[in-house]
C-alpha cells in the first residue's frame, strides 16, 4: 500500500473555474473601460459617505484626506481619469467614468456615514488643523502645545479654494509675535483682543457659533487688506475676498468652499442674507432638490467663520446684530500710505512667524478654556468664554489693550440699540411703553396704539410700507424677533402665552427697575418714511 501522507484537499473544480474566469477578466484587453476604472479605484481607494449622503474616497496612506466623488480637479473623477491614462496610455471616455462612479457610489452607500471637516476639526479633546499641503500635514493642538503630524483621526475634504497654510516658525530673534499681527491690520487697539479671540476661536473651536466679524469704516482704512490678512491666518484661499452675494444660491457657492468666508465691500444686508449669515453662524441647514429634473434631495448645512467689510451696511435685523462682532479701523493719512507691493513683501516675510505665534497662543487658550466660568452667559456664550480665556493669556503674554470681553459686551449693547433704532415700528412701541407703559395688551391693541401715536391715516394703511406689520400676527412676530435686543437695552418684555380667559397672547413691556436708557426718538410719520426695515 502506498501512502501519500496528510495533505490539504485542493479547490473544487467549480471554484477553479471561477478563479480562472476572474483572472481572465482582469487580463482581458477587451474588458469594458468602466470595469477597468472600477478595478483601478478599488485598488487605490477605500470608500465612505457623509451623513448627508455625499460619497467620498480616501487612500490608506492618507486616510485623513478624502476625494469627493464630485470635486473638480481635487475629486475622485479627476484622479481616476489621470490614473487610467498612466496605466493604460489612453483616455477614459466620459460615459465610462460616469458609469464607474455610479457603481462606486453604491459601494460607498453601504458604509456607515462619517463626518467630513473643512480645515479644522475636533476629536477627543484635541483640535486638528489641515495645513492644506500635498503631504497632508496636520497641526494637532492639545495640552497647551501644538505639533505637526502626517495623519489624524478625522477626515478632511479640500476644495478648489483650499490653499496652503505656511510652515509655522519662530523668529530667530523673537522679534515677531502675536502683537505684531496688528501692525498689518490697521485695527484700533481697543478691538485687538476681540479680533484675536475671533482668530483663536476659528482655529480651535470648530463646533461653536462664531460671530460675524464686521470691519466697518470709511474709505481709506485698508478694510479689504485687513479682511484678506485675517482670512489668511486661519484659512488661506485662492480667492480670499469675495463680492457680496446677490442671492442664496450664490451665497451657498461662495460659502461652501472655505472655512473662513471674506465678503468685500458689503453695502447692505438684505433679509435673506441676514438669515443666511445667521445659519452660517449656528450651523443650521436647509433642504432642496439636487436637480430640477429629479426628486433627489440635497442637504445644505455648514458652519462658517465670516468676515465682512463695508462703509455702511445699513440697518441690521436683531438676530444678526446679536451675532456680530463689529470693530473699528484707523483712518490712514495720505502721507502715511505705502505701496502695496512693499506691504505684501513685509507680510510674506512675517507670515510664517505670525502664524506660528498664533498657533502657540491658541494652544494656551485651548488648555485654559475648560476652566473658564462666566457669571453671566450672553447670546454668544461660547465665544464669550474664549474671549475671557484670551484676556488671561494676553495678560500673561504682556499684550496691551483693555478686556476683550468687556469691549464685546459694550459693543453688543450698542448694536442692540442701533438695531432697535432702525426699526420704526419697534421704536413706536418703545415710545408708548416709556410714556404710558404697555401692560397686558394684545398685539392688536399694540398695533392700534402705534397707529394712533404715529398719526397714521386710513390712506396710509391702504398703502402699507414694505415690511410694516399690518396684522396682529405680524406684530407678534416683530416682538418675538426683537425681544433679545429690547432686553439688552433695559426693557422687560413678557407675554402670558395666551394663558387668560380669551386665550390671546397679552404683552407687558416696561423698563427694568433702575434702568435709564436714552429716551427713544419719536418715530417719524409714515408719510415721511421712505421704507421700513423688513423684519419678517
- The total number of residues shown for the chain amounts to 536
**Looking at residue 268, which CATH number applies to its domain?**
3.40.50
**Do both 363 and 297 map to the same domain?**
yes
End-to-end Cα, the chain, rounded Å: 98
Strand pairing partners for 123? 126
| Nine-digit cell string for 49 | 459617505
Contacts (Cβ under 8 Å, ≥6 apart) of 461:
451, 470
Assess if residue 464 is contained within a domain.
Answer: yes
**Do both 263 and 226 map to the same domain?**
yes
- How far is the CA of 16 from the CAs of 8, 13, 24, 123, 487, in angstroms? 15, 5, 12, 48, 79
Res 2: pLDDT = 37
Decide which of 110, 129, 151 is a domain's last residue: 110
Cβ atoms within 10 Å of 64's Cβ, excluding its own: 19
Q: 510 is in which domain, residue-wise?
A: 423-528
Res 294: pLDDT = 44
CA dihedral sign of residues 27, 29, 35, 41? positive
Res 155: pLDDT = 97
Whether the CB-CB separation of 41 and 80 falls below 8 Å is answered with: yes
**Do both 477 and 522 map to the same domain?**
yes
Res 515: pLDDT = 64
Contacts (Cβ under 8 Å, ≥6 apart) of 512:
490, 491, 492
| Nine-digit cell string for 170 | 519662530
**Do both 241 and 328 map to the same domain?**
yes
Long-range residue pairs from 467-474, CB within 8 A, at least 24 positions apart, any chain? 467/531, 467/532, 467/533, 467/534, 467/535, 468/424, 468/425, 468/526, 468/532, 469/425, 471/447, 472/442, 472/443, 472/444, 472/447, 473/443, 474/536
Cβ atoms within 10 Å of 94's Cβ, excluding its own: 10
**Looking at residue 509, which CATH number applies to its domain?**
1.10.10
**Do both 313 and 439 map to the same domain?**
no
Assess if residue 393 is contained within a domain.
Answer: yes
Res 502: pLDDT = 83
**Do both 225 and 328 map to the same domain?**
yes
Assess if residue 150 is contained within a domain.
Answer: no
**Do both 459 and 519 map to the same domain?**
yes
**Do both 437 and 402 map to the same domain?**
no
**Do both 451 and 329 map to the same domain?**
no
Contacts (Cβ under 8 Å, ≥6 apart) of 224:
241, 264, 265, 309
Closest CA to 440 of 364, 359, 497: 497
Distance CA 304, CA 357 (A): 23
Assess if residue 249 is contained within a domain.
Answer: yes
Assess if residue 480 is contained within a domain.
Answer: yes
| Nine-digit cell string for 58 | 480616501
Assess if residue 8 is contained within a domain.
Answer: no
Strand pairing partners for 68? 56
Assess if residue 323 is contained within a domain.
Answer: yes
Closest CA to 99 of 77, 83, 79, 66: 77
- How far is the CA of 381 from the CAs of 267, 317, 409, in angstroms? 29, 20, 11
Query: Half-sphere exposure of residue 311, counting CA atoms within 13 Å on the CB side?
Result: 5
Decide which of 378, 412, 446 is a domain's last residue: 412
Alpha-helical segments (H) within 423-507: 424-435, 443-453, 458-462, 472-488
**CA gyration radius for the chain?**
29
**Do both 316 and 388 map to the same domain?**
yes
**Do both 287 and 398 map to the same domain?**
yes
Decide which of 383, 412, 441 is a domain's last residue: 412
| Number of domains forming the structure of the chain | 3
**Do both 475 and 401 map to the same domain?**
no
Written as tens digits, the pLDDT of the chain (536 aa) is 333 344 445 555 455 444 434 444 455 666 899 999 999 999 999 999 999 889 999 999 999 999 998 767 788 999 999 999 999 999 999 999 999 999 999 999 999 999 999 999 999 999 999 999 999 999 999 999 999 999 999 999 999 999 999 999 877 766 578 999 999 999 999 999 999 999 999 999 999 999 999 998 888 889 999 999 999 999 999 999 999 888 888 888 888 889 999 999 888 888 889 889 988 998 865 555 444 444 455 556 679 999 999 887 766 776 787 888 989 899 888 888 889 999 999 999 999 999 999 999 999 999 999 999 998 887 789 999 999 999 999 999 998 888 888 888 888 777 777 777 777 788 888 888 888 788 888 989 888 888 777 765 444 444 445 557 878 888 888 888 888 878 878 888 888 888 888 888 899 988 887 665 554 544 443 333 333 344 43
Assess if residue 136 is contained within a domain.
Answer: no
Amino acid at each position: 500500500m502506498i501512502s501519500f501522507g496528510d495533505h490539504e484537499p485542493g479547490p473544487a473544480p467549480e471554484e477553479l473555474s471561477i478563479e480562472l474566469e476572474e483572472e481572465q477578466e482582469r487580463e482581458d484587453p477587451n474588458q469594458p473601460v468602466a470595469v477597468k476604472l472600477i478595478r483601478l479605484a478599488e485598488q487605490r481607494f477605500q470608500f465612505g459617505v457623509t451623513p448627508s449622503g455625499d460619497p467620498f474616497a480616501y487612500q490608506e496612506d492618507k486616510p485623513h484626506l478624502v476625494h469627493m466623488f464630485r470635486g473638480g480637479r481635487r475629486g475622485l473623477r479627476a484622479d481616476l481619469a489621470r490614473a487610467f491614462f498612466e496605466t493604460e496610455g489612453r483616455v477614459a471616455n466620459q460615459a465610462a467614468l460616469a458609469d464607474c462612479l455610479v457603481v462606486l457610489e453604491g459601494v460607498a452607500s453601504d458604509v456607515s456615514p462619517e463626518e467630513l471637516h473643512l480645515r479644522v476639526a475636533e476629536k477627543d479633546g484635541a483640535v486638528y488643523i489641515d495645513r492644506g499641503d500635498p503631504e497632508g500635514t496636520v497641526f494637532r493642538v492639545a495640552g497647551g502645545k501644538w505639533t505637526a503630524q502626517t495623519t489624524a483621526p478625522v477626515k478632511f475634504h479640500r476644495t478648489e479654494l483650499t490653499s496652503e497654510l505656511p510652515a509655522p516658525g519662530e523668529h530667530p530673534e523673537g522679534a515677531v509675535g502675536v502683537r505684531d499681527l496688528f501692525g498689518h491690520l490697521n485695527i484700533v487697539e481697543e478691538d485687538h483682543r476681540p479680533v484675536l479671540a475671533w482668530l483663536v476661536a476659528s482655529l480651535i473651536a470648530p463646533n461653536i457659533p462664531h460671530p460675524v466679524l464686521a470691519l466697518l469704516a470709511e474709505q481709506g482704512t485698508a478694510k479689504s487688506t485687513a479682511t484678506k490678512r485675517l482670512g489668511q491666518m486661519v484659512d488661506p484661499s485662492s480667492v480670499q475676498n469675495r463680492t457680496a452675494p446677490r442671492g442664496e444660491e450664490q451665497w451657498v457657492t461662495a460659502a461652501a468652499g472655505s472655512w473662513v468666508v471674506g465678503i468685500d465691500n458689503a453695502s447692505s444686508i438684505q433679509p435673506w442674507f441676514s438669515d443666511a449669515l445667521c445659519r452660517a453662524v449656528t450651523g443650521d441647514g436647509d433642504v432642496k432638490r439636487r436637480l430640477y429634473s429629479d426628486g433627489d434631495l440635497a442637504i445644505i448645512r455648514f458652519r462658517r467663520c465670516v468676515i465682512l467689510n463695508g462703509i455702511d451696511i445699513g440697518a441690521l435685523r436683531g438676530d444678526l446684530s446679536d451675532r456680530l462682532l463689529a470693530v473699528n479701523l484707523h483712518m490712514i493719512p495720505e502721507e502715511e500710505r505705502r505701496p502695496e507691493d512693499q506691504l505684501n513683501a513685509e507680510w510674506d516675510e512675517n507670515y510664517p512667524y505670525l502664524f506660528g505665534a498664533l498657533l502657540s497662543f491658541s494652544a494656551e487658550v485651548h488648555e485654559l478654556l475648560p476652566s473658564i466660568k462666566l457669571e453671566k452667559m450672553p447670546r454668544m456664550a461660547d465665544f464669550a468664554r474664549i474671549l475671557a480665556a484670551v484676556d488671561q493669556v494676553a495678560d500673561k503674554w504682556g499684550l496691551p489693550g483693555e478686556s476683550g470681553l468687556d469691549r464685546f459686551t459694550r459693543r453688543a449693547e450698542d448694536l442692540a440699540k442701533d438695531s432697535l433704532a432702525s426699526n420704526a415700528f419697534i421704536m413706536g412701541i418703545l415710545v408708548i411703553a416709556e410714556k404710558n407703559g404697555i401692560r397686558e395688551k394684545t398685539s392688536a391693541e399694540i398695533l392700534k396704539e402705534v397707529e394712533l401715536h404715529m398719526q397714521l391715516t386710513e390712506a396710509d394703511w391702504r398703502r402699507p410700507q414694505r415690511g410694516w406689520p399690518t396684522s396682529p400676527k405680524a406684530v407678534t412676530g416683530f416682538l418675538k424677533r426683537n425681544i433679545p435686543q429690547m432686553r439688552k437695552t433695559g426693557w422687560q418684555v413678557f407675554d402670558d402665552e395666551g394663558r387668560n380667559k380669551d386665550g390671546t397672547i397679552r404683552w407687558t413691556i416696561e423698563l427694568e427697575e433702575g434702568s435709564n436708557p436714552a429716551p427713544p426718538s419719536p418715530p417719524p410719520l409714515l408719510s415721511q418714511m421712505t421704507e421700513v426695515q423688513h423684519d419678517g
